[in-house]
Amino acid sequence: MRRIGVLTSGGDNPGLNPCIRAVVRMGLYKDLYVMGVRRGYAGLIDGEIEQMDARDVGGIIGAGGTILGTARSPEFYEKRGQQKALRSLNRFGIEGLVVIGGNGSLTGALALKNHGFPVVGIPSTIDNDVNGTDIAIGVDTALDTIADAVDKIKDTATSHNRAFLIETMGRNSGYLALVSGIVGGAELVLIPEQEITFEEIAETIEDAYIRGKTHCLIVVAEGWKPGMMALAERLREREDLGFSVRVTRLGYVQRGGKAGAFDRLLATRMGAAAVQALIDGDDGQMVGWVENKIMLTPLEEAVEFQKKLDDDLYELARVMSI
């Protein structure tokens, strides 16, 4: 192997740049040429590809977003798009590809692998719903950002004696909301994975009021039904809960900012390991962080199903909210 490529795909997060940097530097250290593919699979199809050297990734370990850009590429879902992508890879002499992204992006990587192209995936999504790794790149920094926002809202909630609904990202997965709830000291967490009635929610608020709490924070995953706004509307009809209710949807700030130390280290380890896997011929795999060490999992298994939420965490959130 003499020339590898790297791309970032899907939603961005703060761990992408540290990971790109690690792929580039490990590649160079192993005497490979490293080609950066811009705008994910879309750029791969269009041949937006450039050689990268050590200085190109200088200083980016502390920069949010992705210097390679990212995009969603409907074209790549079709066989025709994949053919174009393979043609680009061949045209630029790329013999192995590192794909950094979430479930959708890794499914794309699997498609390339199934065409016989050597590819290694790195799990990167703040939702932490990729199988085959205990934690994905971006999760830890997103949790820090959310915890900071929850802390800020707690200031206001306490000053005014209010209940707050705070919506985090997570369309299919409650991980982000659940851990945010624990580390933000929330009274309740609402996630797709757990059933709860309106009455139970209302009682939690009333109960917090009665027990003398100065606020009541409820963290709501984006994917929880019927959704934060619908809940807020119903709660506002109830004037007997003690606290009046306000809402904040954290939105896209959750994806931004520079990576924290944990994500920088994780991204660096994964990036280096992905290059090593390509060199070793361990392609068709995803690099994961499992039980405190790097572990490879076949891409098929990684994307086969969504990672299950740890039940203990939900219980922990409940215990800590007393």
For its own copies, the binding residue among 2, 79, 87, 160 (CB under 8 A) is: 160
Active site residue 12: no
Residue 247 touching its own copies (CB under 8 A)? yes
Residue 14 touching its own copies (CB under 8 A)? yes
DSSP 293: E
Give the list of residues 6+ apart from residue 184 with CB closer than 8 angstroms, or none: 146, 147, 150, 151, 154, 166, 217, 219
Active-site residue (options: 12, 31, 53, 127):
127
Total H helices, total E strands in the chain = 11, 11
For its own copies, the binding residue among 192, 203, 265, 300 (CB under 8 A) is: 265
Give the list of residues 6+ apart from residue 187 with CB closer than 8 angstroms, or none: 204, 205, 208, 213, 216, 217, 218, 321
For its own copies, the binding residue among 56, 77, 161, 194 (CB under 8 A) is: 161
Strand partners, 3: 33
CB of 300 to its own copies, least distance (A): 23
For its own copies, the binding residue among 168, 204, 268, 285 (CB under 8 A) is: 268
**Coil, helix or strand at residue 77:** helix
Residue 251 touching its own copies (CB under 8 A)? yes
Q: What is the dihedral sign for C-alpha 199, 201, 205, 210? A: positive
CB of 119 to its own copies, least distance (A): 22
For its own copies, the binding residue among 83, 114, 156, 306 (CB under 8 A) is: 156
Q: Which residue carries 């990202």 as its tokens?
A: 169
Residue 134 touching its own copies (CB under 8 A)? yes
What x-and-dash track marks residues 302-321 binding its own copies by CB under 8 A?
Answer: --------------x--xx-
Q: Which CB sits closer to its own copies, 65 or 108?
A: 65
Residue 131 touching its own copies (CB under 8 A)? no
Q: Which CB sits closer to its own copies, 5 or 18?
A: 18
**Coil, helix or strand at residue 313:** helix
Q: Which CB sits closer to its own copies, 36 or 284?
A: 36
The H or E element that residue 181 is part of is: helix 175-184
175: tokens are 């991980």
Residues taking part in catalysis: 127
